[in-house]
Amino acid sequence: MVNEMIGLILIFAGSIISVIGAFGLIRFPDIYCRTHAQTVVNVGGTCLILLGVFFQAPFFSLYSVKSILLIIFIFLTSPVGTHAIARAAYKSGVKPKKLHEDELGYKIMENEKPLVREKDYEKIKQTKYKFRTKKFFRKRRLHA
C-alpha cells in the first residue's frame, strides 16, 4: 500500500516535470536553452516516472528490473547526447540569443561572426594535411 502511494506520487511528479519541460521546449529562444529543457524532460520526468513504475511493480519482477535498467541508461546517455547536440550547434555557428562574450574567448556581436574562428578556418584551408595510409600499412606488413 505504501509502495503504491510512493509510486503514484513519483509518476505524478514525473508527469508534471515533463509538462513543464514541454512548455520550455516551446518557450525558450534558442537551441541551447531548448536542449536544457529537453534534458529536464528526459532525465527528470522520465526517470521519475520509471522510478514510480519500480515502486508500483512487485519487488524484483520483470517490470522493476527493466525500469531500473532504463533509469540507469537514460541517466547516463541523455546528458551526453544533449551535450553533443549543443556542441555541434556551437561548432556549426549557431549563436545564443543573449550572449555578449563567449566563455571560449570569442566576442559575438549581433550580426557578426567571431573573427577568431574565421582565421582558424583560413589556417585549416591553407594547411594541406595528407593522411598517409599506404605508408602506415606498408610498415605493418613488413613487420608481420
Q: Which residue has the cell 613487420?
A: 143
CA gap 11, 27 in Å, rounded: 24
pLDDT tens for each residue of 72-127? 999 999 989 998 888 888 777 777 777 666 665 454 444 445 444 555 555 555 55
Longest dimension (CA), the chain: 72
Cα angle 88-91-97, degrees, rounded to a multiple of 5: 90
pLDDT for the residue numbered 107? 46
pLDDT tens for each residue of 40-64? 888 999 999 999 999 998 888 898 8
